[in-house]
């Protein structure tokens, strides 16, 4: 019974964290874009004129959801009502459950029981993530098709073509990662990054696989369909792409799914290339700086530091994606396809061959 309870609590924590972070990112994006475009951004939340400082984030965290969920839920004539209602959930659901496999801390011992700080410890973690990411396409495809709108359909066709194309490069880059660590278990991959090179440099994955990092980051951004990869939405060409015909809560679900994917890409890159929850030189006993004595820390302090490190890294990559989004213009369709198929695919393939050859000759790093 307690096993189920622990699992339920962990799942709840992960889901709530992801949803909160997604909503919070919306505010960060509004303020961030304002910063980049030399505007003030969301700043109309001086409650009754009493609160002296700006509470702009209340807009996005409280006022926006209330507004969206009380709006009329419009369904266009001639649409497939059932699939139209199903599509937002098909977009949101895979994005959220993917986090189940991402570890956010080492295992801790509570009352004689070892608890993994990860919603589910999956032996096939990386493949599970790949599977769930590929399921995200259906939300886009069905949304466009069920709307009975040509722009929406065009958007969904573009979206699915783009996601399928970039999944390929992503899969090949993930092969390199698997070759490097010799495992598809994400917790094992993170533990492996706790070593140091020459006793000084933390052996994070980005040092072994810089090319795979860039490929997965780009492909991940393409999967989340945001600028510069927002061809499926392309508001200057397709109104709003595949979710043109959505309003109210359903539109909010699409927005949330987009941000959940941003968080997912950040979490994945952190886990695979930037040590996940590893803090440099922090061991289970305490901090062991190179050339210095061990600073003993209690297990709880270590765990809190690890979770904090993971959160900081994820936030950094979320911010990086927002920064890229507001800096780079949208790709043209042929540029997008050329980048995916003619640049990233061959590079990813070459990376696989080189990685395999290096491991064959010199053996694995660990």
Partner 1 sequence: MFYPLAAVTVVSALAVITARNPVRSAMALVATLASLAVCFVALGAHLVAALQIIVYAGAVMVLFLFVIMLLNVQEDPHEGGRTGLKVAAAAIGAALAALFGTVLLRGGGSVEGAWPAGFGTTRALARVLFGDYLVAFELTSVLLLVAVVGAVVLARHDSDESDPGEVEEPQ
* 255 membership: H or E segment, kind and range: helix 248-273
In the bound complex, what is the minimum distance in angstroms from residue 157's beta carbon to partner 1? 7
In the bound complex, what is the minimum distance in angstroms from residue 184's beta carbon to partner 1? 6
Closest to 91 in 3D by CA, of 330, 264, 341: 264
Does 24 contact partner 1 by CB under 8 A? no
Options 78-86, 240-248, 295-303, 312-320: segment touching partner 1 (CB under 8 A): 78-86
Does 80 contact partner 1 by CB under 8 A? yes
In the bound complex, what is the minimum distance in angstroms from residue 222's beta carbon to partner 1? 16
Q: Residues 171, 165: contact at Cβ < 8 Å?
A: no
Pick 160 or 240: Cβ nearer partner 1:
160
Options 53-61, 117-125, 254-262, 311-319: segment touching partner 1 (CB under 8 A): 117-125
What are residue 109's DSSP bridge partners? 114
Q: Cα 341 vs. chain centroid, distance in angstroms?
A: 23
Pick 142 or 216: Cβ nearer partner 1:
142
Q: Residues 115, 2: contact at Cβ < 8 Å?
A: no
Contacts of 349 (CB under 8 A, 6+ apart): 172
In the bound complex, what is the minimum distance in angstroms from residue 185's beta carbon to partner 1? 8
Does 222 contact partner 1 by CB under 8 A? no
Q: Residues 169, 349: contact at Cβ < 8 Å?
A: no
List b or e across 73-98, with b for residues whose CB sees 16 or more CB atoms inside 10 angstroms: eebbeebeeeebebbbebbbbbbbbb
Does 128 contact partner 1 by CB under 8 A? yes
Does 174 contact partner 1 by CB under 8 A? no
Closest to 223 in 3D by CA, of 353, 315, 94, 108: 94
Site string for partner 1, 84-103 (x = CB under 8 A): --x-----------------
* 206 membership: H or E segment, kind and range: helix 205-208
- Chain length of the chain: 366
Q: Residues 196, 167: contact at Cβ < 8 Å?
A: no
In the block, which residue shows the tokens 């492996």? 192
Options 5-13, 51-59, 119-127, 263-271: segment touching partner 1 (CB under 8 A): 119-127
In the bound complex, what is the minimum distance in angstroms from residue 337's beta carbon to partner 1? 15
Options 127-135, 208-216, 279-287, 305-313: segment touching partner 1 (CB under 8 A): 127-135
In the block, which residue shows the tokens 């599970």? 128
Sign, CA torsion 36/162/216/220? positive
Helix, coil or strand: residue 296 = strand
According to DSSP, residue 99 is labeled G
In the bound complex, what is the minimum distance in angstroms from residue 208's beta carbon to partner 1? 20
Does 134 contact partner 1 by CB under 8 A? yes
Does 82 contact partner 1 by CB under 8 A? yes
What's the token pair of residue 8?
Answer: 């339920």
Does 58 contact partner 1 by CB under 8 A? no
Does 242 contact partner 1 by CB under 8 A? no
Does 141 contact partner 1 by CB under 8 A? yes
Does 83 contact partner 1 by CB under 8 A? yes
Does 135 contact partner 1 by CB under 8 A? yes
Positions 277 through 306 that interact with partner 1 (CB under 8 A): none
According to DSSP, residue 366 is labeled -
Burial class from Cβ neighbours inside 10 Å (0-12, 13-18, 19+) for residue 246 reads: buried
- Residues contacting partner 1: total by CB under 8 A: 28
Among positions 137, 186, 253, 302, the unique one binding partner 1 when judged by CB under 8 A: 137
CA dist list (Å): 117 to 78, 104, 307, 340: 47, 6, 9, 35
Pick 80 or 237: Cβ nearer partner 1:
80
Options 55-63, 118-126, 326-334, 342-350: segment touching partner 1 (CB under 8 A): 118-126
Q: What residue ranges bind partner 1 (CB under 8 A)?
A: 80, 82-83, 86, 122-124, 127-128, 130-132, 134-135, 137-138, 141-142, 145-146, 153, 156-157, 160-161, 164, 184-185
């Amino acid at each position: 019974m307690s096993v189920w309870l622990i699992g339920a609590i962990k799942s709840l924590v992960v889901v709530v964290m992801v949803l909160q972070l997604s909503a919070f990112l919306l505010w960060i994006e509004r303020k961030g874009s304002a910063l980049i475009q030399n505007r003030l951004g969301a700043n109309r939340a001086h409650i009754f004129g009493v609160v002296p400082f700006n509470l702009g984030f209340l807009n996005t965290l409280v006022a926006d959801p209330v507004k969206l969920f009380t709006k009329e839920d419009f369904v266009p004539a001639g649409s497939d009502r059932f699939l139209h209602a199903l599509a937002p959930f098909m977009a949101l659901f895979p994005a959220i459950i993917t986090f189940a496999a991402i570890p956010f801390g080492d295992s801790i011992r509570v009352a004689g029981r070892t608890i993994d700080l990860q919603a589910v410890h999956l032996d096939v973690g990386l493949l599970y993530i790949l599977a769930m990411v590929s399921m995200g396409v259906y939300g886009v495809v069905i949304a466009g098709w069920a709307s009975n709108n040509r722009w929406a359909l065009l958007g969904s066709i573009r979206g699915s073509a783009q996601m399928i194309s970039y999944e390929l490069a992503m899969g090949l880059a993930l092969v390199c990662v698997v070759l490097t660590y010799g495992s598809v278990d994400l917790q094992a991959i993170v533990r492996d990054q706790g070593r140091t090179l020459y006793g000084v440099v933390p052996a994070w994955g980005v040092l072994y696989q810089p090319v795979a990092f860039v490929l997965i980051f780009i492909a991940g951004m393409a999967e989340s369909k945001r600028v510069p990869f927002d061809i499926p939405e392309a508001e200057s060409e397709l109104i709003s792409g595949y979710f043109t015909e959505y309003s109210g809560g359903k539109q909010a679900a699409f927005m949330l799914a987009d941000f959940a994917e941003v968080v997912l890409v950040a979490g994945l890159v952190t886990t695979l290339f930037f040590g996940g929850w590893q803090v440099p030189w922090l061991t289970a006993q305490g901090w062991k700086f190179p050339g210095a004595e061990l600073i003993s820390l209690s297990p709880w302090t270590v765990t809190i530091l690890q979770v904090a490190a993971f959160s900081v890294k994820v936030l950094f990559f979320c911010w990086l994606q927002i920064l890229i989004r507001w800096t780079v213009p949208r790709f043209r369709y042929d540029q997008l396809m050329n980048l995916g198929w003619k640049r990233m695919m061959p590079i990813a393939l070459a990376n696989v061959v080189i990685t395999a050859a290096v491991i064959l000759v010199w053996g694995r790093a660990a």
